[in-house]
Amino acid sequence: GYEDGKPLYFNQVPVSDFWEILGDNQSACIEDVTQERAVIHYVDGMQARLVKQVDWKDLEGRVRQVDHYNRFGACFAKTTYSADSEPIMTVYQ
């Protein structure tokens, strides 16, 4: 169910083959060889590196989609951004 599961730890974010997740106590990022593909934001006030949202970037480094996670580790919404970095649509799952 939707409210089953555990919080998502930063290194459990699904990524493409050969992409790497790098993180510390403040933040994490997802890299494809030499290019940053996403930034992982942690839950506020927690030192456990639990995922709050992931900002996915295009090849120019602009945020194109944000995945929002709940306390059960489920992605409950995705926000799509325009080329001007403006939010244009949020889809709740």
pLDDT tens digits along 29-68: 999 988 999 999 999 876 789 999 999 999 999 999 999 9
Rounded Cα distance between 67 and 38, Å, is: 10
Which residues form the domain of 49? 10-92
Rounded Cα distance between 16 and 6, Å, is: 22
Residue 69 included in any domain: yes
Is the overall model pTM greater than 0.85, yes or no?
yes
Coil/strand/helix, residue 58: coil
Percent of the chain exceeding pLDDT 70 equals 97
| C-alpha dihedral sign at 15, 74, 61, 20 | negative
Q: How many domains does the chain have?
A: 1
Residue 5 included in any domain: no
Rounded Cα distance between 93 and 85, Å, is: 22
Rounded Cα distance between 82 and 93, Å, is: 20
Residue 63 included in any domain: yes
Cα angle 29, 77, 59; round to 5: 40
Residue 23 included in any domain: yes
